[in-house]
Amino acid sequence: MNSAIRRLAVAAIILMLALMANSTYLQAFRANELNGRNDNRRVRDSQFSVDRGPILIGATPIAQSKPSNDRFEYQRTYLPSVAAAYAPVTGFYSYLYGRAGIELTQNSELNGSDPSLAFRRVVDVITNRRQQGASVSLTLNAAAQLAAYKGLSGKKGAVVAIEPKTGKVLALVSRPSYDPNELAGHDLDQVSDAWTKLNEDANKPMSNRAIKEIYPPGSTFKLVTMAAALSSGRYTPETKVRSPAVLELPQTTVGLPNQNGQNCGGSDNATLTVALRLSCNTAFGSVGLDLGADALREQAEKFGFGERQLPELGAVASRFPADPNAPQVAQSAIGQFDVQATPLQMAMVAAGIANGGDVMKPYLVQNVKTADLKTVSETKPESLHQAVSPEVASQLTQMMVDVVQNGTGKPGRISGVQVAGKTGTAQTSPDKPPFAWFTSFAPANDPKVAVAVMIEDANVPRNDIAGGTLAAPIAKAVMEAVLSQ
């Protein structure tokens, strides 16, 4: 009997120790993870009674909590009339559907539970004040954000603008968009109906096209191919390359044609400057075949391809194909085949060229401050990669200026300002319209802003779709908004 009791006691002690160890593990190591789960309603009930900190652009709150006269005590609200313009950034804070965007990734700062705010919580307890979240200030430029949103009216697409010297994201817009106020309401039946409607919408208004969708970049990728060519030491802007109306490709009877069905500017051997100015497919296909897939991939990766950027919103990685054959390399060199990029990535390409070849790490959160305005954290600019040398960046800049002044990018010109840019029109399938692109920066001699615009669908005839006509005017408006301040 004594032996059985001893075994039972030992087993009970072991179980108690295991329970204590598991409880300690959960409290010490997994508390934040469990508290942050979108499906943890007990925690959510508690958090809805917290004065959640605002999301700011300058001194303007684009999201804030206001006292409410119901059981939740606070109502999360988004700036009326422009809430949809900022929705891809702010995301939403919903009782039923959790959080998205900055509301998700900065949740612990906004609700005041982050370890960095521990001292503030102690002070709140001592002074008998209710817990109050920290404010999160963003890098966005309000004028640029609204110019991008207005420019995309009636279209599916996205715009990203970056400050080249720092990596600050000045604009990040995706349309169609949605009003996060509809998901933050306290009438849960209405919230449920709004969620269902948004998710059943074929236009995907909740899709963040700027950073979470990848598209063929078309001729804007020729900047990467040109960068690889100039960096190889075998090419200069005046090097002549094969540029017939149709480039014969190895291993296939299907050639690579120029869009207009003619050779490049009246020559079967155009210079690279002319080839970029007129966006000649055959010239860049020739260069791609000469350089090879590895050189193109390496250059793309130096601009950020293959890496996830902007952790504040969880951007997806852009990609260059893993093992293309020769014809696929030629297609890849003009941004087709399996080359896929986010608008954020193509803005990074332009920003890297603008910044002397130094690609800065993009960021969206400028700083986090307590309710009494004490700085908790502040983001500092950080170099990501040296994509090209300053000399190559200068050559690319002058070639891009030529594109805007004399070539396909004329609609992106700004009076009194030298703009550098590159158009793109990416083919998809016969039943879908091409994607129209434009990426640029200005002023060319002292860049303040780099922009990428992608138009997925503009509701215009197929023959009217071109990066210069559809995307460049939007980029122009965004650049003007930044430069006018």
pLDDT over 80 at 347, yes or no: yes
Annotated catalytic residue, options 219, 243, 279, 440: 219
CA geometry: angle 184, 189, 195, nearest 5 deg: 55
CATH code of the domain covering residue 395: 3.40.710.10
Q: Mark whether 219 is an active-site residue.
A: yes
Decide if 211 is inside a domain. Answer: no
The candidate with the shortest Cα–Cα distance to 297, out of 331, 325, 333, is: 333
pLDDT over 70 at 33, yes or no: no
pLDDT on residue 477: 98
pLDDT on residue 192: 97
pLDDT over 70 at 40, yes or no: no
Distance, in Å, from the CA atom of 220 to the CA atom of 477, rounded to the nearest integer, reads 19
Find where tokens 């990428």 sit: 452
Q: Taking residues 259-267, what's their average pLDDT?
A: 93
Q: pLDDT (tens digit, 9 = 90+) per residue, 104-130? A: 999 999 988 877 766 555 555 555 466
pLDDT over 80 at 29, yes or no: no
Decide if 409 is inside a domain. Answer: yes
Q: Left (φ > 0), alpha (ψ -120 to 50) or beta: where does 310 sit?
A: left
Distance, in Å, from the CA atom of 343 to the CA atom of 340, rounded to the nearest integer, reads 10
Classify strands 420-426 and 156-162 as parallel, antiparallel or unpaired: unpaired
Decide if 260 is inside a domain. Answer: yes
Residue 90 token pair: 């702010």
Q: What share of the chain is helix, strand, coil (3-state, %, to 5)?
A: 40, 20, 40
Decide if 357 is inside a domain. Answer: yes
Decide if 272 is inside a domain. Answer: yes
pLDDT on residue 16: 82
The candidate with the shortest Cα–Cα distance to 86, out of 160, 146, 139, 170, is: 146
Confirm if 336 and 427 have CB atoms less than 8 A apart: yes
pLDDT over 70 at 32, yes or no: no
Q: Which amino acid is at 115?
A: P
The mean predicted confidence, pLDDT, of the chain is 92
Decide if 352 is inside a domain. Answer: yes
How many structural domains compose the chain? 1
Distance, in Å, from the CA atom of 217 to the CA atom of 435, rounded to the nearest integer, reads 8
Q: Write out the H or E segment, with its range, that includes residue 41.
A: helix 41-47
In degrees and rounded to multiples of 5, residue 455 shows phi and psi of: -110, 115
The candidate with the shortest Cα–Cα distance to 249, out of 321, 322, 337, is: 337
For 462, the domain range is 218-365+380-483
pLDDT on residue 351: 98
Decide if 241 is inside a domain. Answer: yes
| Cβ-proximal residues to 113 (8 Å cutoff; 6+ apart), any chain | 32, 35, 121, 131
Q: Taking residues 134-154, what's their average pLDDT?
A: 97
Decide if 424 is inside a domain. Answer: yes
Q: pLDDT (tens digit, 9 = 90+) per residue, 382-418? A: 999 999 999 999 999 999 999 999 999 999 999 999 9
